[in-house]
A and B are shown apart, each in its own frame.
Chain A
């Protein structure tokens, strides 16, 4: 059997769904985009003063057209992420402003080169099925911040990408960028490389660009991930169950908007629910209640037969310390046992404000352990121990058995050198020094996945006018060797940096 974590029983899930439908019918959701309100009217939603009240039959109809599963593809066109069922994937956390260098006491603003390094590191770590547009790069103009970070990720990676747009306008440039890499709209639709996070504002509120992007992504047939963020006690009911109801209502309203624009387009029941710390006003991502909210919200999504996402494995600690390890490790286990399809947050410190490459490699170890736990104990063999004992007595020990040699690597996860299992203490060595050495080792092993030169040209051509209009000189973060040789265009442009 495979171990499984379940927090809600069927009766509770039914109550949550019923109350979410009540919220949508009685209180409705504020939608700050008149064109989206118009589109909702066409599927039977009434609205007054920008508040859309959504009847149950409209929700049910939207749920009928949502696909229960879909795939994200890598650059080569292989299925790399399966959204659906209880399959679990992890990706690094997204959109932070800062990075904490190894050994530094204070974080600094992240640059495009930092994002490039994080992407390269993620590319080498099998624990991460997908990349994320992990940082907002300080050296890219804010107006194109979302576009540029996607360019940096696509440039250095062949894995699928979890991303998001900062405005209604830039979304379309990002979609053009993905089309440029894929080759055409048709190939992007057939083999989507990215999923876009879109966030309502709690409670029960869709801002203008969020609502518009939701509809535009559906029309473009690019997968969308709903990121409802109830903050228990501040922007949501203080009870965990109440916050799960709000999450369900916001997510259902998102599905209605999305499916009204394009029935059948792929969408994920995702989120970043959290509690609100009543002493500090922060939203602790490492709190066990935040973990519980993520699991419970995903359970509601699973009950509807939808792909799921959660925000786990980030830490509130400011350093790579025991707190960071405890919070992120616990969350990785919880998320893996809950069967959440995509779990975002690895590498992050300071309540999602800061990334750390060293934490990313530590989190990769937590994730590997969680994945091992989720596989459970294999007891399918005809004999569990008796045969091995007989053989062991005959040969003089278990270490002499062929079965030991064959099976230990599937029975035991072998951690990297980040995890200290050495028999003797190494003077001066700490978790941070081991993690940093691992980061450097992995980055040295990184090789940029091949990217067709024509695709590179197309991608740069999409971004270039926006980059120059915003005042960007050169291509920060793109200076890298391409398949063993320096790209002349990038090299030339990079000299501005």
Chain B
């Protein structure tokens, strides 16, 4: 029974079927399937499949986004059940994410948010036009491992440096790693402003975030990316 359910869960993610993934999550609760098993053995394999197919150019951004939405729908059902049972899912890390002040571009940042969530990170998406200090405040509140910033404009790129300064002022560095992205942002820029990592796109951002969680020093991270 569980194997069939897990296969259906995996398929619901691949199909990007949010209503189906949520329905299967509710069924899992009725069937007393451990929510952690449902997530790890049912839904996560679907996310992994979509990610692999995307990397092979066999699936596309809409597949990726809709898979992420389907994952979110399932988690919205299963997380309260986890809490009720007093269980906790092992997350890969906690990420505070946003587009910096003065910039209202959302697509890239939202893709990164979806992909990180689907990959197993706890993501606090602060939205767009986010004041510099708010990154640090929220990172402190949620004990973030990573702060991620997006800028699409050459002018708002400067804001990424100011966010890092705010993190410094609040004594959050170096334990909070910083990753940056956005169309005009480059690896060199990330280095220049003292960020730990740069992600060229949403898929790379997941790999970068995983590296940041594994590596402990700025130098190590820089060498690895």
Residues of A within 8 A of B (CB): 32, 95, 97, 109, 136, 142-143, 145, 166-167, 201, 205, 207-209, 231, 233-235, 276, 278-281, 353
The answer to whether A97 and B154 have CB atoms under 8 Å apart is yes
Known contacts A205-B104, A207-B104, A234-B107; is A281 also within 8 Å of B154 by CB? Answer: no
Chain B positions 93 through 134: 1 when the CB is less than 8 Å from some CB of chain A, otherwise 0: 000000000111101100100000000000000000100000
Cβ contacts under 8 Å, B61 to chain A: 233-234, 276, 278-279, 281
Q: Across the interface, which residues of B come within 8 angstroms of A109, CB to CB? A: 188
B111 vs chain A, min Cβ distance (A): 7
* With A166-B155, A278-B61: A201-B104 Cβ-Cβ less than 8 Å: yes
Contacts of A235 in B (CB 8 A): 107
Q: Which residues of B contact A166 (CB under 8 A)?
A: 153-155
Top 6 closest A-B pairs, CB basis? A278-B60, A166-B155, A278-B61, A279-B57, A207-B104, A201-B104
Given known contacts A166-B155, A167-B155, A281 and B108 CB-to-CB distance under 8 angstroms: yes
Complex contacts, B153 vs chain A, CB 8 Å: 166
- B201 engages A280 (CB within 8 Å): yes
- What's the Cα separation between A136 and B157 when bound, in Å? 13
Given contacts A95-B154, A97-B184, 13 further A-B contacts (CB under 8 A): A109-B188, A142-B158, A166-B154, A201-B105, A208-B102, A233-B61, A234-B61, A234-B107, A276-B61, A278-B62, A281-B61, A281-B111, A281-B201
Q: Which residues of B contact A279 (CB under 8 A)?
A: 57, 60-61
| B164 interface residue (CB < 8 Å to A) | no
Query: Among the interface residues A97, A205, A208, which one has the most CB atoms of the partner chain B within 10 A?
Result: A97
Could you name 27 residue pairs across A and B whose Cβ atoms are closer than 8 Å? A32-B129, A95-B154, A97-B154, A97-B186, A109-B188, A136-B154, A142-B154, A142-B155, A142-B157, A142-B158, A143-B158, A145-B155, A201-B104, A205-B104, A207-B104, A208-B102, A209-B102, A231-B107, A233-B61, A276-B61, A278-B60, A279-B61, A280-B201, A281-B108, A281-B201, A281-B202, A353-B184
Could you say which residues of chain A place their CB within 8 Å of the CB of B102?
207-209
| Residues of chain B contacted by A205 (CB below 8 angstroms) | 104
Residues of A within 8 A of B111 (CB): 281
* Shortest Cβ gap from A2 to chain B (Å): 38
Which residue from chain A places its CB closest to the CB of B157 in the assembled complex? A142
Nearest A residue (CB) for B60:
A278
Bound CA span A427–B129, Å: 56
Chain B residue nearest to A136 (CB atoms) is B154
What are the residues of chain A within 8 A of B154 when measuring CB–CB?
Answer: 95, 97, 136, 142, 145, 166
Within the assembled complex, what's the spacing in Å between the Cα atoms of A60 and B184? 38
Question: A280 vs B201: C-alpha distance in the bound complex, in angstroms?
Answer: 8
Q: How many A-B residue pairs have CB under 8 A?
A: 48
Q: Which of B107, B108, B153, B155 has the most CB of A within 10 A?
A: B155
Query: Which chain A residues lie closer than 8 Å to B104 at the CB level?
Result: 32, 201, 205, 207
CB distance from A59 to the nearest CB of B (A): 23
How many angstroms from the CA of A233 to the CA of B66 in the assembled complex? Answer: 13
Query: Whole-angstrom distance from the CB of A386 to the nearest CB of chain B?
Result: 59
Could you list which residues of chain B lie within 8 angstroms of chain A, going by C-beta atoms?
A: 57, 60-62, 102-105, 107-108, 111, 129, 153-155, 157-158, 183-184, 186, 188, 201-202
Residues of chain B with a CB closer than 8 A to A167's CB:
155
Least CB separation from A278: chain B residue: B60
Chain B residues near A207: list those with CB within 8 A.
102-104
Q: How far is the CA of A205 from the CA of B99 in the complex (A)?
A: 15
Closest to B200 in A: A281
In the complex, the answer to whether B62 meets A233 with C-beta atoms within 8 Å is yes
A109 to B157, CA, bound (A): 15
- Most chain B beta carbons < 10 A, residue from A231, A235, A281, A353: A281
Q: Which residues of A contact B183 (CB under 8 A)?
A: 353
Please, which residue of chain B has its CB at the minimum distance from the CB of A277? B61
- The answer for the CA separation of A414 and B184 in the assembled complex, in Å, is 38
Q: How far is the CA of A278 from the CA of B62 in the complex (A)?
A: 7
The minimal Cβ–Cβ distance linking B103 to chain A, given in whole angstroms, is 8
The CA of A338 and the CA of B102, in the complex, are separated in Å by 36
Chain A residues whose C-beta falls within 8 Å of the C-beta of B62 in the assembled complex:
233, 278
Please report the C-alpha to C-alpha distance between residue A131 and residue B153 in the assembled complex, in whole angstroms: 22
Contacts of A233 in B (CB 8 A): 61-62
B217–chain A nearest beta-carbon distance, Å: 27
Cβ distance B169 to chain A, nearest Cβ, rounded Å: 21
Residue in chain B with minimal CB distance to A170: B155
What's the minimum C-beta distance from B106 to chain A, rounded to whole angstroms? 8
The chain A residue with its CB closest to the CB of B56 is: A279
Q: How far is the CA of A368 from the CA of B111 in the complex (A)?
A: 41
Which A residues are CB-close (under 8 A) to B158? 142-143
A201: chain B residues within 8 A (beta carbon) = 104-105
Q: How far does the alpha carbon of A97 sit from the alpha carbon of B184 in the complex, in Å?
A: 7
CB-based nearest A residue for B63? A278
Set of chain B residues within 8 Å of A281, measured between Cβ atoms: 61, 108, 111, 201-202
- How far is B111's CA from A208's CA once the two chains are assembled, in angstroms? 24
Q: From residue B187, how far is it (CB to closest CB) to chain A in Å?
A: 12
Question: What is the distance, in angstroms, from B185's C-beta to the closest C-beta of chain A?
Answer: 10
In the bound assembly, the distance between CA atoms of A205 and B57 in angstroms comes to: 32
Write the chain B residue with the least CB distance to A199.
B153
Chain A residue at smallest Cβ distance from B203: A281
The CA-CA distance from A76 to B122 in the complex, in Å, is: 61
Residue of chain B at shortest CB distance from A145: B154
How far is A97 from B105 in the complex, measured between Cα atoms in Å? 19
Q: How far is the CA of A440 from the CA of B155 in the complex (A)?
A: 33
Q: How far is the CB of B204 from chain A (nearest CB, A)?
A: 10
Q: Distance in Å from the Cβ of B152 to the closest Cβ of chain A?
A: 9
Inter-chain contacts of A142 with B (CB < 8 A): 154-155, 157-158
Give Cα A353–Cα B152 distance, bound, in whole angstroms: 12
Q: Separation in Å of the B151 CB from the closest CB of chain A? A: 11
